[in-house]
Amino acid sequence: MSPKNQVHPLSYLCVKLVSAQLIQALSDDEGRNYDVVLEYLFDATYEVVQELLKNILNSVNLDAATRFSCLQVLLRQDVRKLDTGIFPHSYYEAILKVITQKGTGLQQLNLKGVWVRDHPAQLSELVTNLTKLKILVIPHMADDQVLQAISKAQSLSVLDISGECSFTSSGLRLIRNETLTCVDIGYFGKKSICQQDESDCDIIAEMIENLPNLTCLRTYSFTGTSLLTLYRKNSKHKTRLKYLHDTGTSDEVIEAIINMCEQLKSIHLDTPQKGVICRLKQLKKLNCIKLVHHDSADLLDYLADSGAALQVLKLNHNKRNALDLCDVCLCVPNLHTLECFQLKLAFSQMDTFFMNLENIEILYCDVSDSSLKCILMNCPFLKRVIIGCVINMTDGDVFRLCAECDFLCLEELWLSCARGLTCISVELLMGHCPNLKVLGQLSGWDIHQEEIEYLRSVILYTNTDLTLLPLGTFS
């Protein structure tokens, strides 16, 4: 049987209770209770205030005016983390002003729901005032003025300036920092970074050179080309990169990566040239690989030679040749996570077992029902299974799977298009899997809304910790 809901800790219940009282007290437009609330929370620790802000600002059904009032009153100089949540445009300038004045102790700020690119002066002032910032998330917002303020924030370790920004190479060159370890910049699949014609790969190369402790350059999809630029300039230069993403990787580029990125643990290659994947075996610390439009023979050669070091394997877009998952199993015995997107898959040997696999995603792949059954039966420690392909299993197949497999670890199961499964399969899985907490996507099953509502009522009255998805109505 799926697990029972545990009693929420007292701290959680207190946050919910006090949040509700604060929302009620601060929901009037005249602010009559502001002083009373301030006095009430005067002795509260910053952790308490921080949790109250997090709970209130991320309340989906709470109006913007009340959330803003709570931000005004609750934000104190000792609060360390703030995620503003989503606000209407009319609140942007006021929110920046409040954070600038009261958030001077913030170490982590996420403005993702407040797109303030039209207020660069105020955003620059905010960054300048928040001298303790370690994590700053401002996608689509930065310009040269903002980057100049960021360049003075010498405690930053994580910076997100991804998306369509209006800074130039001159602004990026200002960022020289010993503490920055992770930067999000640019768009996936686009070389363009700045608002000018200068080579963007050259600019990223300079950024890597100016950030000696950078371990992760996310979002940007042509890091390898930038490393080649830097390698040609100084072949002895070493980076601390542990993750990179490259597109159209050539033999020359992979040579630069191998020589400059000895600490690399995770790599994402889109359309690498033939022979590139085999050379990944020279990266001794690599344990996570994502490949898009890859050569199947190169992949199998690499796995046969160095697969034992891999824990995560993500493969996209290759239906030219069938990938036998048994080959992956035999070559990658320590595989923890496997993701397959638009592949042709097979499972040829019934006696082959993934003994360490916990997470598997199979989306839009050509794969037979028998292969899917083998995967479910031959991975005894699966925790999360997502199958986004058309499958023709019946309730009888699910019954036989439950009879043959314990599914002791299974926590999440998604079968997005399984028209042969009915309410009977839901009940079978609920009763058989002791740790199952999420079951979906039931809109793709042969189930009526009334049956789902009945099951949800059973789950509620038996205090079962199981979510049936989607939560809304479906036909």
**Per-residue pLDDT at 28:** 80
Q: Name which of 318, 269, 261 is nearest 289 in CA terms.
A: 269
**End of a domain among 74, 94, 118?**
74
- Domain presence at residue 402: yes
**End of a domain among 74, 97, 122?**
74
> What are the tokens at 325?
């998952």
Q: CB-hemisphere CA count at 13 Å for 424?
A: 13
Asked if 367 and 391 touch (Cβ cutoff 8 Å), the reply is no
- Domain presence at residue 247: no
- Domain presence at residue 248: no
- Domain presence at residue 408: yes
**Domain extent for 433:** 391-475
- Domain presence at residue 280: no
The distance from CA 249 to its chain's CA centroid, rounded to whole angstroms, is 24
In whole angstroms, what is the distance from residue 399 CA to residue 21 CA? 49
- Domain presence at residue 32: yes
Q: Name which of 283, 274, 374 is nearest 329 in CA terms.
A: 374
**End of a domain among 32, 49, 74?**
74
Q: How many domains does the chain have?
A: 2
> What are the tokens at 390?
């058309």
3-state secondary structure the chain: CCCECCCCCHHHHHHHHHHHHHHHHCCCCCCCCHHHHHHHCCCCCHHHHHHHHHHHHCCCCCCHHHHHHHHHHHCCCCCCEEECCCCCHHHHHHHHHHHHHHCCCCCEEECCCCCCCCCHHHHHHHHHHCCCCCEEECCCCCCHHHHHHHHCCCCCCEEEEECCCCCCHHHHHCCCCCCCCEEEEECCCCCCCCCCCCCHHHHHHHHHHHCCCCCEEECCCCHHHHHHHHHHHCCCCCCCCCEEEEECCCHHHHHHHHHHCCCCCEEEEECCCCCCHHHHHHCCCCCEEEEECCCHHHHHHHHHHHHHHCCEEEEEEEEEEEEEHHHHHHHCCCCCEEEEEEEEEECCCCCCCCCCCCEEEEECCECCHHHHHHHHHCCCCCCEEEEEEECCCCHHHHHHHHHHCCCCCCCEEEEEEECCCCHHHHHHHHHHCCCCCEEECHHHECCCHHHHHHHHHHHHHCCECCEECCCCCCC
Q: What is the chain's pLDDT, residue by residue, as a tens digit (475 residues)? A: 789 998 889 989 999 999 999 999 998 877 788 899 999 899 999 999 999 999 999 998 899 999 999 999 999 999 999 999 999 999 999 999 999 999 999 999 999 999 899 999 999 999 999 999 999 999 999 999 999 999 999 899 999 999 988 899 899 999 999 999 999 999 888 888 886 655 788 899 999 999 999 999 999 999 999 999 999 999 999 999 999 999 999 999 999 999 999 999 999 999 999 999 999 999 999 999 999 999 999 999 999 999 999 999 999 998 888 999 999 999 999 999 999 999 999 999 989 999 999 999 999 999 999 999 999 999 999 999 999 999 999 999 999 999 999 999 999 999 999 999 999 999 999 999 999 999 999 999 999 999 999 999 999 999 999 999 998 765 5
In whole angstroms, what is the distance from residue 383 CA to residue 404 CA? 17
403 φ, ψ (degrees, to nearest 5): -70, -30
- Domain presence at residue 11: yes
Would you say the pTM of this structure is higher than 0.95? no
**Per-residue pLDDT at 2:** 87
- Domain presence at residue 436: yes
